[in-house]
Amino acid sequence: MKKFYLFSTLAVILFSAVAFTSDTNLLVGKWEYSSTYQGGPFKLLAIFRANGTFDGFINKKEFVSGTYHMNHDTLYMSDPTCNAKYEGVYKVEFFGQRDSLKFHVVQDTCAGRREGTNDKLFRKVINAAK
């Protein structure tokens, strides 16, 4: 009986340690903003990877690559179009079942990045099972 309690206690401690230390990055994946521009469809796709890199595509053409990191609900991102050494700072607000989000600028002097992200509603791209 002692072994059972010892094993149970160890299992609870191990599970608790894993549960509280795992920091899943909800931003990892593909996110798309859809709109119209000059009378035609406009799609902005952002791909955030677990290794801290991202790529941006406008209408399926890559236009930016950079790095990012998250600290709770705050995103820090940089790319060479706005000086790779400078990070823009955004609050990330998730909606629903975390299948959509908005970026809210905290500080970013890069006008193009601000205009392409600030207060835009991005939806998570879910790949259909094949």
SS (H, E, C) 15-71: HHHHHHHCCCCCCCEEEEEEEEECCEEEEEEEEECCCCEEEEEECCEEEEEEEEEEE
**Average of per-residue pLDDT across 40-48:** 95
Domains of the chain, by residue range, sit at 3-124
What is the pLDDT confidence band of residue 84, given thresholds at 50, 70 and 90? confident
Read off the pLDDT of each residue in 37-56 and give the average, rounded to a whole number: 95
**Residue 23: pLDDT band by 50, 70, 90 thresholds?**
low
Class of 3-124 in CATH: mainly beta
